[in-house]
Structure 1
Amino acid sequence: MLRAAHAEEAAHNPLIPALPDLLWGAVCFAIILALFWWKVLPAVKKLLDERAAKIEGGIERAEQAQREAAAALDKYNAQLAEARAEAARIREQAREDGKRILVEMREQAQAEAARITAHAQAQIEAERQAAVTSLRSEVGSLAIDLASGVVGESLTDDRRARALVDRFLAELEAEGDGARTAGARTRA
């Protein structure tokens, strides 16, 4: 018997299960497969779908954010270009204003110089006229005194004496103008 059990055991392959074990294993496998198919698989599929939706939503949000960032960058670049153009316009306007101010200041300086020169010339002419008048009266008085001393009598007729002095001074001026004109011709 021992031999028969041993022979039966030797004939039986340990890798192949017995028929009842195979039957119970198949039933358990079918129950687990059904549970997995109806309960676990839909839950996993739902979880994977949610995850895929989140990923796709995240990708869409990232693409939207990227589009917004690109739009903001374009807007920033446009504003920067506009600011640069405005700065260039302001610099050009400042240059033009500076040139205009320089021209105005030159004109004002020239006008002021011309006014000062005219005033100085007028003052010089007035002083010259005063000096000429003063010299005429002094030369006239000296000439009358000298003539009185030469003639030996007093020349008290003021009108006649003045006419004589004026004629003498006019002759002197005419000789002086003639000499100046001749000198100017010689230099030229």
Structure 2
Amino acid sequence: MILTQVTAAETEINPLVPHVPEIILGVIVIALLFVGVAKFIVPNFEKAYADRTAAIEGGIENANAKQAEADAKLAQLEAQLADARHEAARIREEAREQGAAIVAEMREQAQAEAARIVEHGKTQIEAERQAAVTSLRAEVGTLATGLAGRIVGESLDDDERSSRVVERFLADLEAGVH
């Protein structure tokens, strides 16, 4: 019975133990799948990964180049701005100097004009004084001659004599003033 049991057990199929042909067929299918995946799918993944890596690295290199270019442009613009500030300061200083020169020149012109006006005024006053003195001499002479004629009782119509009398009178008058 034992023998019959062993043969019965051998002929009976156990669902937990796989059959050898199934194992071989499973190994072949897995090997074919592995070869197909390794040959067709993995290279596509590798290619996509390499393309993606190249794009990222290219983007990083491009970004670094753009950053370096932007930094260079920024430095150039800052240098131009500094130059422009220096130029503006120089122009302001020149304008200040020119303004001071113009003010000094205008002051000199005003002083020269004032001196000219004062000199002209002095000249005019002197001329008017001379004219007044001459006019007063003539008038004083006429009055003195008339007065002297009344005092003396004779007419002093003689021009030469009357001018001598007037001159002497005025000289005495000026000597008395000083």
- Structure-2 separation of matches of 1:19 and 1:142: 174
Aligned residue number for residue 167 of structure 2: 166
Q: Which amino acid aligns with 1:56?
A: E
TM superposition shift of 1:68? 1.0
2:98 counterpart letter in structure 1: D
Q: Distance in 2 between matches of 1:66 and 1:164?
A: 113
Q: Equivalents in 2 of 1:65, 1:114: separation in Å?
A: 72
CA distance in 2, matches of 1:148, 1:65: 120
Return 94-103 or 144-153, whichever deviates more.
94-103
| Structure 1 partner of 2:55 | 54
Deviations 1:106-152 (A, max 9, x none): 11111111111111111111111111000000000111111111111
Q: How does 1:1-188 map to 2 (within 5 A)?
A: 4=8, 12=14, 14=16, 17-176=18-177, 178=178
**Distance in 2 (alpha carbons) for counterparts of 1:169 and 1:18:** 171
Distance 1:98 1:145 in 2: 68
Q: What SS does the aligned partner of 2:149 have? A: helix
Once residues 159 and 110 of structure 2 are traced to their aligned partners in structure 1, the CA distance between those partners, rounded to angstroms, is 51
What TM-score, normalized to structure 2?
0.87
1:157 counterpart letter in structure 2: D
Inter-partner Cα distance in structure 2 for 1:171 and 1:8: 183
- Take 1:41 and 1:174, find their aligned partners in 2: how far apart are those partners? 140
Structure 2 unaligned residues grouped into runs of 5+ = none
**Equivalent position of 1:184 in the other structure:** none
Equivalent AA in structure 1 for residue 56 of structure 2: I
The alpha carbon displacement at 1:62 in A equals: 0.2
Secondary structure of 1:156's partner?
coil
Q: Percent identity at matched positions?
A: 53
Q: Distance in 2 between matches of 1:168 and 1:13?
A: 175
Query: Aligned-pair RMSD on alpha carbons?
Result: 2.4
| TM-score computed with the length of structure 1 as normaliser | 0.83
Gaps of 5+ in 1: 179-188
Inter-partner Cα distance in structure 1 for 2:134 and 2:87:
68
The number of aligned residues is 174
